[in-house]
């Protein structure tokens, strides 16, 4: 029986593929399969994949796509042929510690999801990422609320394949930032989740990353909140999960606003800020009534309110960002004294 299927989307990854696949063939859990999905690479990635398949015929399977459908689509094709009890996702420029699959599988013990801490790797400079999955195994609404606002990324955990099949949980295709949708939906549907002790995944922040390298994709993230809330409504799960869905929606939109205003752009695009404001008014007008709304970062809430008043105010907010953050710190201290 295959315990874990590891799916690796590959696109022009010859520079990193050896280190990635070597770390997977070295896994101490024997009952695994490694599914390499080439997403129409133009470099030597296919040749490298074929060589690994020849060397490990009982462990590695390869799919070769003629049309680029981006990482989400490539992962979906891998899931279509996966046979493992659990599924793991590894990006082709990342790598894993030898005990990752064994530790996560044993800790899962039948849970829908199991994750662990990981590292952000910047050319050998490691940053620890510690995650709080909350207490217990059951995914209570409170645990889901905390989980949905953080708890790492999909490649830091394994998923029970039956969960993904039952609810047809697949990545959106032909879009970037598809991981946000998948992270949300799997956490929303999961009934149980546990965290294993230790760190096992090296998330490499590559300068060759598609999203970092190609600035033309920078605004695609703005469409993901609408995709999430729309899909929840289409699946008939919005009403019973309204607080959780609204919280995720508004959290992402707030992050998008600050992202546009501050983090990546010399000249913020007010038309995109206006687009977000219009979407919020149409899709989630009563966001402030969400029971988890006050859990959101206060600085992000300031940007949200400014943008709803006027994108111009949001842009001015970035010039005062240090003062807004200082106000947030003072506010937190004052609230702490009252408690």
- Which domains, from first to last, does the chain contain? 4-212 (3.90.550.10), 218-338 (no CATH)
Say if residue 224's pLDDT is above 60. yes
pLDDT of residue 295: 84
C-beta of residue 251 within 8 angstroms of C-beta of residue 225 = no
C-beta of residue 269 within 8 angstroms of C-beta of residue 260 = yes
pLDDT of residue 140: 87
Mean predicted confidence (pLDDT) in 157-172:
97
Q: Which residue has the higher pLDDT, 123 or 15?
A: 15
The string over 185-206, giving b where at least 16 C-beta atoms fall within 10 Å of a residue's C-beta and e elsewhere, is bbbbbbebbbbbeebbbbbbeb
> Strand, coil or helix: what is 197?
strand
Rounded percentage of the chain residues whose pLDDT exceeds 90: 72
Distance CA 50, CA 220 (A): 33
Rounded percentage of the chain residues whose pLDDT exceeds 70: 92
C-beta of residue 65 within 8 angstroms of C-beta of residue 38 = yes
pLDDT of residue 336: 65
Mean predicted confidence (pLDDT) in 264-289:
90
pLDDT of residue 338: 44
Say if residue 49's pLDDT is above 80. yes
The string over 90-118, giving b where at least 16 C-beta atoms fall within 10 Å of a residue's C-beta and e elsewhere, is bbbbbbbbebbbbbbbebbeebbbbbbbb
Distance CA 240, CA 263 (A): 35
Tokens of 299: 């600085």
236-256 pLDDT, tens digit per residue, is 999 999 999 999 999 999 999
Say if residue 212's pLDDT is above 80. no
Distance CA 289, CA 319 (A): 29
In the block, tokens 């490990």 appear at: 56
Q: Which residue has the higher pLDDT, 330 or 42?
A: 42
Say if residue 58's pLDDT is above 90. yes
pLDDT of residue 339: 36
C-beta of residue 92 within 8 angstroms of C-beta of residue 9 = yes
- The overall average pLDDT reported for the chain is 90
Highest mean pLDDT among 60-69, 125-134, 200-209: 60-69
């Amino acid at each position: 029986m295959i315990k874990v299927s590891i799916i690796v989307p590959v696109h022009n990854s010859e520079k990193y593929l050896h280190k990635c696949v070597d770390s997977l063939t070295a896994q101490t859990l024997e009952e695994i399969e490694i599914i390499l999905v080439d997403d129409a690479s133009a470099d030597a990635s296919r040749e490298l994949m074929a060589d690994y398949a020849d060397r490990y015929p009982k462990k590695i399977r390869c799919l070769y796509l003629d049309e680029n459908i981006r990482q989400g689509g490539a992962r979906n094709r891998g899931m279509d042929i996966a046979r493992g009890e659990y599924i793991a996702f590894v990006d082709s420029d990342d790598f894993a510690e030898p005990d990752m699959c064994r530790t996560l599988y044993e800790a899962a013990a039948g849970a829908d999801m199991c994750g662990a801490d990981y590292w952000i790797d910047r050319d050998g400079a490691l940053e620890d990422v510690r995650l709080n999955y909350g207490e217990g195994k059951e995914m209570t609404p409170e645990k889901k609320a905390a989980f949905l606002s953080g708890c790492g990324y999909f490649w830091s955990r394994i998923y029970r394949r039956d969960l993904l099949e039952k609810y047809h949980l697949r990545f959106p295709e032909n879009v970037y930032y598809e991981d946000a949708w998948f992270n949300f939906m799997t956490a929303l549907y999961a009934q149980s989740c546990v965290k294993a002790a230790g760190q096992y995944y090296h998330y490499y922040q590559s300068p060759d990353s598609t999203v970092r390298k190609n600035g033309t994709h920078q605004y695609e993230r703005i469409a993901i909140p609408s995709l999430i809330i729309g899909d929840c409504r289409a699946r008939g799960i919005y009403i019973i999960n309204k607080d959780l869905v609204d919280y995720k929606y508004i959290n992402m939109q707030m992050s998008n606003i600050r992202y546009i205003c501050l983090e990546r752009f010399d000249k913020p695009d007010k038309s995109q800020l206006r687009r977000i404001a219009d979407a919020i008014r149409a899709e989630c007008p009563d966001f402030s009534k969400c029971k988890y709304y006050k859990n959101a970062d206060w600085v992000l809430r300031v940007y949200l309110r400014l943008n709803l008043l006027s994108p111009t105010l949001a842009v001015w907010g970035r010039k005062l960002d240090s003062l807004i953050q200082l106000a947030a710190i003072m506010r937190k201290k004052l609230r702490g004294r009252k408690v």
